[in-house]
């Protein structure tokens, strides 16, 4: 199943997908924000400390609001930079550092490559930063796609048109089609297709009657109209096209599953024969599409969202060819907006950056081209990046930490009061089967088939789309590659994949403030230790617990244990439903978290904190120490919790916070901190809280 990206707007096609991530890069707008700005030369970012007393607000009571106590001064003194929508003490700063180091590598390769690999990614980067050439080319790079769309004579030619777009690597919206692991037989790789096709962050933006969403829909239509005008359409036609796009996307949104529904594995697993899919969508010519993408023969596939495809067929029958042409033209222009001349870039940023996310200004082009090259050629760029920035001792240290966390989780499982011995044995067996992947892949991907030009950015992106598609589709019917990674080495992130039953920690996150060899165990276990525990706990959250140790979707808990498990997760749902992502202001009501959407991540946060603390106690005991020993005026227990909280210090625009509440399966930093510590009695003991205090309640939620 595809990885679930987080902190960035996510296609509805990927929601509820099997691989669950801990966290991601600081949220940005949907745009590749960043016009050319040669005057904004990259500068080395400052050092990041794992434990920072200056970040703390010691006037705050840790027993009342621990996040304010641990992060208050940092939040006050670190406003959101104009080119960001979320600014986090850990993720943002470390991403900036990794981005700068990666830029050094790319810039050198673009100007003086020493190897064939450097020539490849250097050319890709060079094409991205050459905004003068982008300006000169105008719409020429997307004219083949626009011309193809213009040949469409009737709605039943939609499949042929999409197939032609796919063949040249141009954005082909509506649905996602790929090869992934079979949820019920993880040794098999099968064809699967998902809902997609929306431009706004979530289906709610199309269907909610709330005034806020009505206003955004109006602004979206105005934005599309401006983009069509920039593409040369007459005013009346541009307005008509924008209305057509909104109508089609609204219908697709109405036929889509919600994000919460997509989190349930059974809701997205529907094995169809090819004949059954063709009966479901008789007006879409699947064989033409499959021939265009070059996939091998198959007889069955997973149609993850059948109602969506039923809706699609209805739209083919009711929407004229002209409306579909508008829809496809829009997605072509929108899909490449940041690679088109400045006017397109600016208008795209004005809506998706400023209006939707509250971003004040675009990022410098070097930043966005660095990220774009990493996404396209991650394991090419990553080879050199790892050699320079990830020493062998870092991997060795991680191996020890992971072993300590595995031991702690194993002990935690055996002491759970609500779980039967039968289920405990099954849980222990699953834990023993988890594979640990640390730093970077054992075997690098072969990118020899991917070509890059210094003078054709959109052509490079189209070639990359074809390369990535061919790589994925070639897996059909082949054995699963258990050593494959879903993230690039410089990424500041980590993830657990239920179908693989593995945890993955890219080299990019294995640095301060998450891990610092010079720091005491309390701080490191509060940082990277909780990250490790978080990912392990994902194997036992509401989604992960439905997969066994071999990655197969099947029930391994007894019915009584599943009932007890659900009672405990329901406690978390209700608790987090009460947390505000954004307060009421300017006539807008408060935006609360969705406890069901964030349940898996909240469970992992709570479980990760607990088992990291247990691992800390075990580690200190082996050195004949305890969590009560002091360093710099704080006990090791207190340093553990402060180190944990300071990972989550952040500021975020109100617009972005409201988007995140709808689309992000993670809670914001304040609630990842306070929500977790208030459910763990050891926190209250560490800070001498009185039972009944907000951070040390009489009744709390615990799953693991």
What residue ranges define each of the domains in the chain, with the CATH number in brackets?
56-105+368-440+447-476+490-686 (3.40.390.10), 143-340 (1.10.1380.10)
Q: Which residues are catalytic?
A: 535, 605
Task: Map tokens 């094409």 to a residue.
Answer: 127
Question: CB neighbours of 392 closer than 8 A, spacing ≥ 6?
Answer: none
Show the tokens assigned to 66.
């621990």
Show the tokens assigned to 350.
């004005």
Per the DSSP assignment, residues forming a β-bridge with 553 are: 547
User: Nearest-CA neighbor of 121 among 375, 317, 386?
Assistant: 375
Instruction: Give pLDDT, residue 30.
Output: 36
Residue 29 contacts residue 353 (beta carbons within 8 Å): yes
Distance from C-alpha of 344 to C-alpha of 367, rounded to nearest angstrom: 19
Distance from C-alpha of 359 to C-alpha of 201, rounded to nearest angstrom: 15
Going from the first residue of the chain to its last (704 residues), give the mean pLDDT of each consecutive group of 10, the final group possibly shorter: 32 32 38 43 86 97 98 98 96 96 96 95 98 98 98 96 96 95 98 98 97 97 98 98 98 98 98 98 97 97 98 98 98 98 98 98 97 95 92 88 96 96 98 96 94 97 97 97 95 97 96 93 97 98 98 98 98 98 92 98 98 98 97 97 98 97 97 98 98 98 96
Distance from C-alpha of 60 to C-alpha of 80, rounded to nearest angstrom: 23
Consecutive H or E run containing 585: none
Asked whether the CA dihedral 551, 553, 558, 561 is positive or negative, the reply is positive
The stretches of 526-580 forming alpha helices (DSSP H) are 530-538, 559-577
- Bridge-based pairing of strands 435-439 and 630-631 is unpaired
- Give the number of other Cβ atoms within 10 Å of residue 135's Cβ: 14
User: Nearest-CA neighbor of 400 among 438, 372, 373?
Assistant: 438
Task: Map tokens 């054992």 to a residue.
Answer: 442
Instruction: Give pLDDT, residue 27.
Output: 36
Distance from C-alpha of 366 to C-alpha of 103, rounded to nearest angstrom: 7
Instruction: Give pLDDT, residue 392.
Output: 86
The percent helix, strand, coil of the chain (3-state, each to 5) is: 55, 10, 35
Residue 479 contacts residue 491 (beta carbons within 8 Å): no
């Amino acid at each position: 199943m595809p990885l679930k990206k987080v902190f960035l707007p996510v296609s509805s096609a990927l929601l509820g997908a099997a691989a669950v991530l801990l966290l991601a890069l600081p949220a940005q707008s949907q745009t590749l924000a960043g016009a050319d700005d040669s005057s904004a030369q990259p500068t080395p970012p400052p050092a990041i400390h794992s434990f920072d007393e200056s970040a703390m607000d010691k006037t705050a009571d840790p027993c009342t609001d621990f996040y304010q106590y641990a992060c208050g001064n940092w939040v006050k003194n670190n406003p959101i930079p104009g080119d960001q929508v979320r600014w986090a003490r850990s993720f943002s700063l470390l991403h900036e550092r990794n981005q700068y180091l990666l830029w050094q590598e790319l810039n050198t390769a673009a100007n003086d490559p020493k190897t064939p690999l450097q020539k490849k990614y250097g050319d890709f980067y060079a094409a991205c930063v050459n905004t003068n050439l982008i300006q000169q080319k105008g719409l020429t790079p997307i004219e083949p796609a626009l011309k193809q769309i213009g040949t469409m004579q009737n709605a039943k030619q939609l499949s042929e048109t999409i197939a032609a777009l796919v063949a040249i690597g141009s954005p082909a919206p509506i649905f996602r089609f790929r090869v992934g692991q079979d949820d019920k037989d993880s040794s098999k790789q099968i064809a699967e297709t998902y809902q997609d096709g929306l431009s706004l962050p979530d289906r709610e933006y199309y269907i909610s009657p709330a005034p806020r969403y009505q206003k955004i829909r109006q602004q979206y239509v105005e934005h599309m109209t401006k983009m069509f005008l920039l593409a040369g359409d007459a005013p009346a036609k541009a307005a008509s096209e924008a209305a057509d796009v909104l109508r089609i996307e609204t219908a697709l949104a109405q036929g889509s599953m919600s994000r919460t529904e997509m989190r349930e594995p059974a809701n997205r697993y529907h094995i169809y024969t090819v004949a059954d899919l063709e009966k479901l969508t008789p007006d879409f010519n699947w064989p033409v599409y499959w021939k265009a993408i070059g996939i091998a023969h198959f007889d069955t596939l997973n149609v993850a969202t059948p109602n969506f495809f039923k809706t699609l067929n209805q739209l083919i029958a009711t929407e004229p060819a002209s409306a579909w042409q508008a829809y496809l033209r829009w997605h072509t222009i929108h899909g490449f907006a940041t690679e088109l001349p400045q006017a397109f870039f600016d208008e795209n940023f004005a809506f998706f950056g400023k209006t939707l996310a509250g971003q004040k200004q675009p990022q410098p082009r070097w930043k966005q081209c660095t990220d774009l090259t990493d996404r396209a050629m991650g394991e090419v760029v990553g080879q050199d990046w790892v050699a320079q920035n990830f020493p062998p001792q870092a991997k060795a240290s991680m191996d020890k930490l992971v072993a300590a966390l595995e031991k702690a989780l194993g002990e935690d499982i055996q002491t759970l009061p609500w779980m039967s011995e039968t289920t405990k044995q099954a849980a222990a067996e699953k834990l023993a089967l988890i594979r640990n992947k640390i730093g970077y892949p054992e075997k690098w991907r072969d990118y020899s088939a991917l070509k890059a030009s210094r003078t054709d950015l959109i052509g490079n992106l189209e070639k990359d789309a074809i390369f990535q598609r061919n790589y994925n589709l070639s897996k059909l019917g082949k054995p699963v590659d258990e050593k494959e990674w879903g993230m690039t080495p410089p990424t500041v992130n980590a993830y657990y994949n239920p179908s693989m039953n593995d945890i993955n920690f890219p080299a990019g996150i294995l640095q301060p403030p998450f891990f610092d060899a010079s720091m005491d165990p309390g701080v490191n276990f509060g940082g990277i230790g909780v990250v490790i525990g978080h990912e392990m706990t994902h194997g036992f959250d509401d989604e992960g617990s439905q997969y066994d140790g071999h990655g197969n979707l099947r029930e391994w808990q007894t019915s009584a244990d599943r009932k007890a498990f659900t009672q405990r997760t329901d406690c978390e749902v209700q608790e987090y439903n009460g947390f505000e992502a954004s307060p009421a202001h300017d006539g807008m009501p408060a935006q609360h978290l969705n406890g069901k959407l964030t349940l898996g991540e909240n469970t992992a946060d709570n479980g990760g904190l607990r088992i990291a603390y247990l691992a800390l106690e075990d580690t200190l005991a082996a050195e004949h120490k305890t969590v009560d020993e002091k360093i710099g005026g704080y006990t090791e227990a207190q340093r553990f919790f402060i180190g944990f909280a300071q990972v989550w210090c952040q500021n975020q625009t109100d617009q972005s916070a409201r988007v995140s509440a709808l689309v992000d399966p993670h809670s914001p930093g304040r609630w990842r901190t306070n929500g977790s510590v208030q459910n763990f009695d050891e926190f209250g003991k560490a800070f001498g809280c009185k039972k009944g205090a907000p951070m040390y309640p009489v009744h709390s939620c615990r799953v693991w």
